[in-house]
Amino acid sequence: MVRVNSTILFSILALCCIVFSSQVSVIAQESTDTENDDEYLVKFTRVEPELVPKEKGDSAESLNWNSYGPGTSVADFDNDGDMDLYISARFSHLEWQDTQNSLSVMTTFGTQLLFENKGNFTFKDVTNKSGIINDVDGDGVSDSTSVSGVWGDYNSDGFLDLYVSEFGHTNGKYAGGKSNVLYHNNGNGTFTDVTEIAGVGNSGHSSVAQWVDYDHDGDLDLYSLNYGTYFESENDAEAETNILYQNNGDGTFTDVTLSAKLSGSIAFSEVPGEHLESGVVRVDMVAGTPSSPGMYSDSDAGSGMSWAALWIDYDNDGWEDVFIASDFGISPMYRNNGDGTFSVVTNVVGMNFTGTGMGLDAGDYDRDGDLDICQSNIGPNYLWQKQDDGTYKEVGDDAGLNVAEAFPVHWVCDFFDYDLDGDLDLFFSVGQISAYNSRQDNTFWINDGEGKFTEMAFELNLLPTNTEKTQGASIVDFDNDGDLDIVTGNSNAPIRVFENHADLTGRHWLMIDLEGSESNIQGIGAEVVVWVGDQPYVQQKFACSGSFGCSDERLHFGLDDAIVVDAIVVNWPSGKTTEMYDVSVDQVILISEYTPETPDLVSFGVLVLVSFILFVWRHNRN
């Protein structure tokens, strides 16, 4: 937690103001309590790009409710400076029968889509040109069971590659899916399937994956999550272990799950490259009560039904730990021991709550200088507030999250400062895989600046005329105007894009991209602290943490009325630190791990002030 002794700080500030009055500028921030005043409320506008998922086989109402996703994932795959969009397939994952209407829905295939951002919220379908289409029967539509996609430069060539998580094909009852696929970005707008060469073809029923340099050797490793299967009409669940692939640095990967002790459950596969299925268990779900649902497992190592993972350095030791959203059980925290192994610390950090974990994200919603965690569930969501002693406390009720709007089935949860007022708001995608109640409204929670939230999706124009079933969602600045837009993946409607108009408020912002040298090329895992006066804005860079959505990898900071950033501190995975001072706002900046020379124009007073604040901050953290 970031803490600065106020008495010492005041003395130093006063001294600097006297001695360096012509050089030091400390920005005073005025709170603007206008979130609930419609005259000042920042709203979204729904734009209508041609982004329509396609599917093979049955396209009736049954597919609308039993389809996974589609998931969404954004990245600048062509390096032209704006964010492009990947959409996973819309397909039926069930063999579902409606005896009353004599309908039978078998497992179907859909198509994954890749759209190039052409500016001004227009997109071009480049799926066929890119080569990510796998058209087996030649009808122009890919035979895909993709659930999600995550972007990462695994070979450090400067172009983002795509790892696609598929529904899988190993369980006899649900054997119609495909293995996961790694697409190598050729740098010319095309991709090549290198799954077999790389050795990352997880055949389980996968949910999502994350790129992370867990061993700090400078290249990106891959953690592939398996959910397993859940047959909704019978409440039968079967867990599957996750797979941790270590990057060998030559374009290939090695399964190190067993030696790393990171399967997401108490079970482990003894066969490299293969997951373990843990047997069918009946889980009777009680709607709206995640504290007492049907349990698949009560282990503090996780249920083995993993929807999402958050690689967060919870103990500030410089190594990325991992928190896994587990369905029908306890969502576990694993500590990275720094030697290639992980230890379960769920009970130690106070997170041993049973639930139905779906999505995860981290952000400093209460602005106390450390990262808190949101966890979406079936029913009330969890808000894990980081405590001074390094543990977490669940404060969803206290923060106002668990009201009537919080009880549907939530998937993606994302912290972001939508209105640029300096505090983090919270968005959830919502939709249930159910023949009876699949369509549920997404929710948006505005932070009042004191850590309390109010649900205002309707007031912000985020709800469609007809309720939709949403699982995938990404937060992204599509038009590079400094505020963050929303894209949602809907199974019963077109992809929705919502344009944010916070740039018209006159509030300020800063967006930071990272480039590693000794660390991985994307700087994934780095901690970034932006200082305005004595207020720290803390973020850590993740390569996707959501269940069906991966957001803009650039770190976005809303700064309210601050007209200059006093300091930026980047703590890289390599252990190096980069510091910048007196940075202009309202821009996207690239920070390299190479330490830049201090500009001549940086005021001496600012250097003295910020250096002291950083000294006290680091002392208190240690």
- Reported as a single tens digit per residue, the pLDDT across 439-484 is 578 999 999 999 999 999 999 999 876 677 788 999 999 999 999 9
pLDDT for position 145? 84
Domain co-membership, 559 together with 573: yes
Number of folded domains in the chain? 2
Judged by phi (left if over 0) then psi (alpha if -120 to 50, else beta), residue 365 lies in alpha
CATH of the domain at 67: 2.130.10.10
Q: pLDDT over 70 for what percent of the chain? A: 76
Domain co-membership, 326 together with 394: yes
pLDDT for position 612? 62
Question: In the structure encoding, which two tokens stand for residue 586, read together?
Answer: 């309202």
Q: Is the pLDDT of residue 177 over 90?
A: no
More confident site: 128 or 190 = 190
pLDDT for position 63? 54
Quick one: pLDDT band at residue 31, thresholds 50, 70, 90? Answer: very low
Of the listed ranges 215-224, 269-278, 529-538, the one predicted with least confidence? 269-278
Domain co-membership, 149 together with 211: yes
Q: Is the pLDDT of residue 30 over 50?
A: no
Question: In the structure encoding, which two tokens stand for residue 262, read together?
Answer: 């990171």
CA gap 414, 426 in Å, rounded: 6
Report field, pTM of the whole predicted structure over 0.85 = yes
pLDDT for position 174? 67
Does residue 249 fall inside a structural domain? yes
Mean pLDDT calculated for residue range 342-365? 96
More confident site: 39 or 262 = 262
Q: Is the peptide bond before 272 cis (omega within 30 degrees of 0)?
A: no
Average pLDDT, the chain: 83
Selection from 8-22, 89-103, 472-486 with the highest mean pLDDT: 472-486
Q: Is the pLDDT of residue 189 over 90?
A: yes
Amino acid at 123: F
Does residue 33 fall inside a structural domain? no
Contact residues for 230 (Cβ-Cβ < 8 A; gap 6+): 236, 237, 238, 283, 305, 327
More confident site: 375 or 596 = 375
CA gap 114, 41 in Å, rounded: 33
CATH of the domain at 561: 2.60.40
Contact residues for 611 (Cβ-Cβ < 8 A; gap 6+): none
More confident site: 611 or 261 = 261
Quick one: pLDDT band at residue 379, thresholds 50, 70, 90? Answer: confident
pLDDT for position 601? 46
Mean pLDDT calculated for residue range 48-70? 62
Mean pLDDT calculated for residue range 133-146? 69
pLDDT for position 278? 78
Does residue 341 fall inside a structural domain? yes
509, 536, 567 - which closes a domain: 509
Q: pLDDT over 90 for what percent of the chain? A: 60
Read off the pLDDT of residues 546-591 as tens digits, 9 standing for 90 and up. Answer: 788 999 999 999 999 999 999 999 999 999 999 999 999 999 999 9
Read off the pLDDT of residues 384-413 as tens digits, 9 standing for 90 and up. Answer: 999 999 999 999 999 999 866 556 788 899
pLDDT for position 3? 37
Quick one: pLDDT band at residue 619, thresholds 50, 70, 90? Answer: low
pLDDT for position 606? 53
Does residue 470 fall inside a structural domain? yes
Quick one: pLDDT band at residue 287, thresholds 50, 70, 90? Answer: very low
Of 293, 310, 308, nearest in space to 358 by CA: 308
Of 268, 305, 313, 544, nearest in space to 412 by CA: 544
Question: In the structure encoding, which two tokens stand for residue 358, read together?
Answer: 């779906």
CA gap 595, 581 in Å, rounded: 13
- Count Cβ atoms below 10 Å from residue 336 Cβ, excluding itself: 25
CA gap 357, 291 in Å, rounded: 11
Domain co-membership, 235 together with 341: yes
pLDDT for position 111? 81
> Helix, strand or coil for residue 282?
strand
Q: Is the pLDDT of residue 250 over 90?
A: yes
Does residue 546 fall inside a structural domain? yes
CA gap 264, 357 in Å, rounded: 13
Mean pLDDT calculated for residue range 338-351? 98
Q: Angle at the Cα of 147 (from 520 to 139), degrees rounded to 5?
A: 115
CA gap 210, 308 in Å, rounded: 9
Q: Using N-to-C axis directions, what is the helix angle for 604-621 and 6-19, rounded to 10°?
A: 170
Label residues 400-434 b or e (16+ Cβ within 10 Å = b).
bbbeebbbbbbbbbbbbbbbbbbbbbbbbbbbbbb
Question: In the structure encoding, which two tokens stand for residue 387, read together?
Answer: 């405590």
Quick one: pLDDT band at residue 545, thresholds 50, 70, 90? Answer: confident
Quick one: pLDDT band at residue 101, thresholds 50, 70, 90? Answer: very low
More confident site: 448 or 89 = 448
Q: Is the pLDDT of residue 343 over 50?
A: yes
pLDDT for position 6? 37
Mean pLDDT calculated for residue range 275-302? 67
Domain co-membership, 320 together with 382: yes
Selection from 60-64, 91-95, 592-596 with the highest mean pLDDT: 592-596
Domain co-membership, 358 together with 294: yes
Amino acid at 396: G
Does residue 569 fall inside a structural domain? yes
Contact residues for 236 (Cβ-Cβ < 8 A; gap 6+): 230, 280, 281, 282, 283
Domain co-membership, 303 together with 405: yes
- In the block, tokens 């190096």 appear at 576
461, 480, 509 - which closes a domain: 509
Does residue 582 fall inside a structural domain? yes
pLDDT for position 276? 87
Q: Is the pLDDT of residue 270 over 60?
A: yes
Label residues 488-524 b or e (16+ Cβ within 10 Å = b).
bbbbbbbbbbbbbebbebebbbbbbbbebeebbbbbb
Domain co-membership, 493 together with 563: no
- In the block, tokens 């790129």 appear at 211
Read off the pLDDT of residues 294-318 as tens digits, 9 standing for 90 and up. Answer: 567 789 999 999 999 999 999 999 9
> Helix, strand or coil for residue 406?
helix
Does residue 253 fall inside a structural domain? yes
Label residues 130-143 b or e (16+ Cβ within 10 Å = b).
bbbbbeeeeeebbb
Quick one: pLDDT band at residue 169, thresholds 50, 70, 90? Answer: confident
509, 540, 563 - which closes a domain: 509
Range of the domain at 526: 510-592
Quick one: pLDDT band at residue 490, thresholds 50, 70, 90? Answer: confident
> Helix, strand or coil for residue 605?
helix
Q: How far is CA 187 from the centre of its chain?
A: 25
Amino acid at 407: F
Contact residues for 465 (Cβ-Cβ < 8 A; gap 6+): none
Question: In the structure encoding, which two tokens stand for residue 67, read together?
Answer: 């389809």
For 220, 268, 293, 481, 621, the CA distances from 76, given in Å and listed in that order, are 18, 36, 40, 16, 35
CA gap 414, 429 in Å, rounded: 9
Domain co-membership, 539 together with 463: no
Domain co-membership, 532 together with 496: no
Domain co-membership, 172 together with 302: yes
pLDDT for position 404? 60
Mean pLDDT calculated for residue range 203-230? 95
For 214, 359, 486, 525, 555, the CA distances from 423, given in Å and listed in that order, are 29, 21, 18, 22, 14
For 162, 200, 567, the CA distances from 131, given in Å and listed in that order, are 12, 19, 43
CA gap 616, 207 in Å, rounded: 42
Domain co-membership, 563 together with 475: no
